[in-house]
Amino acid sequence: MADNSKFYPTKGRVILHIDMNAFYCSVHEAEEPEKYKGKPSAVSGSVEKRKGIIVTCSYPARKRGVKTGMHVIEALKICPDLMMISPDFQIYKKYSQQFVAICYNYSPLVQVMSIDECFVDITGSKQFGTPLQIAETIQNRVRDELSLPCSIGVAPNKLLAKMGSDMKKPNGITVLRKRDVPHVFWDKHCAFLYGIGDKTASKLEKLGIHTLGQLAHSDLDFLTKHFGVVGKALLDAANGLDDSPVVEERQSNKSIGHATTLPVNFSDIGDIKRVFLNLADQVSRRLRKQQLLCSTVQITIRDPDMKTITRSTTLNTPTEDRKNIFETAMDLFEKHWPEHKPVRLLGLTLQKLAEKKSTPIQLDLFDYDEQDGEEVLTETMDKLRDKFGENAIITAGMLGDDPSVMLRDKKRRGTSLQKDDLSIEHWEASNRDDVKE
């Protein structure tokens, strides 16, 4: 066996960041190459029903100027032969699990960041070759076995690996060393760096820090004064330093959420209720499937101008109950959207999750004896639905003909995105920052 040691640092780590290119489109192309290969395609909601938004688009479509986040109508104007695809999360999930499985062949330290990206710590993977060889092997296997393109960053830490995978797309492998930081990053605007958002960048701008080079040479005390503990992190990041570990994320979910874009703007409270009832039904069901309880309920409201707000509340006692979650969501809606102005998208996310068997529930004096009955009912409903499908039994309030009703239909539910299948799934790009946890 060749001695690969010299390709590994004596101290320090080797991290890969693997980013699937145009993941949703690539998956459809892999499934039906004769239909999509080399053609401009895009994934959005169910095309005929809504004025949807491009969730992702293929490279041929990008060449024609189609961008993620664009309205479908707009995209079709600049690219009339754009093939619109309805999303199928079951397939995405399947492919995602397969590419993560390939990564696990080279290291046990795999951190799944979302449905289409992960970090792999290969510091101890010498027996599989040099870092570059491992990256190539993974990329080749993903291409040969799954017919999917991916870009890989190879670096001494997660930050640089993430930046590296972004530099050559599709099918790139980029090695970034610490010594590359000055010439690659320092002339760039601060927001170029992963982790520095628009808000931070504009605050830096106001402080006279325009480029990453300036940031890298800033005074720590000065940054701490303006950003608190984040100041140190900013300074380190601009110098390409990041000591955060690759954490194997097989732990339980941080949140369970669901959002649905509505076919027309809803403002009738009856419609809103039905959507939340269906959302609550599905998220609470998934919560129970995973034997979890939630303490925080968050709703997302997007208006026709794409302005999005999220509002949350923490419950007195953790719950898994659909009714409780639904009522909490409605209270939040009434409180924060009191005039019932039109809404374009509604979402419901359960947070502060805890394992049911290790979470004590404080019983309530006024309904402790009803709680049992309710639970038996829920349990029975769950069992029926496990066996006969989600539509086997529903409550009357859930009936309707909008997309929230289709949430129960895993294949057809469109761009109402589910966030727990893989720790975080991408939302529409315009909303990405909101869902990164």
Partner 1 sequence: MKFTINTSTLNHHIQHAAKAISNRTTIPILTGIKMEATNVGIYLTASDTNISIQTHIPLEDEEHVIAEITATGSVVLPAKLLTELIRKLPNKQVEVEVKDNFQTMIRSGQTEVEINGLDPEEYPLLPSINENNTLVISSDILKLMIKETIFSVSHDESAAILTGVMFSLDHGKLTFTATDRHRLALKEMHVESAADITFKNIVVSGKNLNELYKILSEQSEAIHIIVSDNQILFKINNILFYSRILDGVYPDTTRIIPAQSKTDVIVNKQKLLQAIDRASLLSREQNTNIVKMTVDENNGISISSSSSTFGKINEEIKMDEFSGDEVNISFNSKYMLDVLKVLDAEQVKIKFTGAMSPILITPEDDNECVFLILPYRTG
Size, binding site for partner 1 by CB under 8 A: 17
Does the footprint of partner 1 cover residue 338 (CB under 8 A)?
Answer: no
Does the footprint of partner 1 cover residue 48 (CB under 8 A)?
Answer: no
Among 307, 357, 396, 401, binds partner 1 (CB under 8 A): 357
C-alpha to C-alpha distance for 209 and 223, rounded to whole angstroms: 10
* Catalytic annotation present for 117: yes
C-alpha to C-alpha distance for 106 and 129, rounded to whole angstroms: 10
User: Residue 115 or 292: which CB sits closer to partner 1?
Assistant: 292
Stretch that binds partner 1, among 30-38, 77-85, 303-311, 353-361 (CB under 8 A): 353-361
Among 307, 369, 387, 401, binds partner 1 (CB under 8 A): 369
Residues with Cβ within 8 Å of residue 292, at least 6 apart in sequence: 252, 253, 256, 320, 353, 354, 355, 356
Contact 44, 55 (CB under 8 A): yes
User: Residue 10 or 358: which CB sits closer to partner 1?
Assistant: 358
Does the footprint of partner 1 cover residue 252 (CB under 8 A)?
Answer: no
Identify any residues that bridge with 19 across adjacent strands, giving them in sequence order: 117, 151
Does the footprint of partner 1 cover residue 251 (CB under 8 A)?
Answer: no
Does the footprint of partner 1 cover residue 370 (CB under 8 A)?
Answer: no
The neighbour count for residue 386, using CB atoms within 10 Å, is: 12
Task: State how far Cα 272 lies from the chain centre.
Answer: 25
Among 10, 127, 251, 316, binds partner 1 (CB under 8 A): 316
Among 372, 409, 433, 437, binds partner 1 (CB under 8 A): 372
Among 32, 219, 364, 386, binds partner 1 (CB under 8 A): 364
Dihedral-angle region of residue 389 (phi above 0 means left; psi in -120 to 50 means alpha; beta otherwise) = left
Find the catalytic residue in 29, 31, 117, 374.
117
C-alpha to C-alpha distance for 180 and 163, rounded to whole angstroms: 12
Find the shortest distance in angstroms from Cβ 372 to partner 1: 7
Among 206, 360, 387, 396, binds partner 1 (CB under 8 A): 360
Find the shortest distance in angstroms from Cβ 358 to partner 1: 6
Find the shortest distance in angstroms from Cβ 288 to partner 1: 13
Instruction: Read off the tokens for 230.
Output: 């984040």
Instruction: Read off the tokens for 38.
Output: 């080399």
Stretch that binds partner 1, among 10-18, 112-120, 320-328, 355-363 (CB under 8 A): 355-363
Q: Which helix (DSSP H) or strand (DSSP E) does residue 151 occupy?
A: strand 150-155
Give the 3-state secondary structure of residue 257: strand
Place of tokens 């599905």: 282
User: Residue 336 or 436: which CB sits closer to partner 1?
Assistant: 336
Task: State how far Cα 123 lies from the chain centre.
Answer: 27
| Residues forming the site for partner 1 (CB under 8 A) | 316, 355-366, 368-369, 371-372
- Which residues participate in catalysis according to the annotation? 117
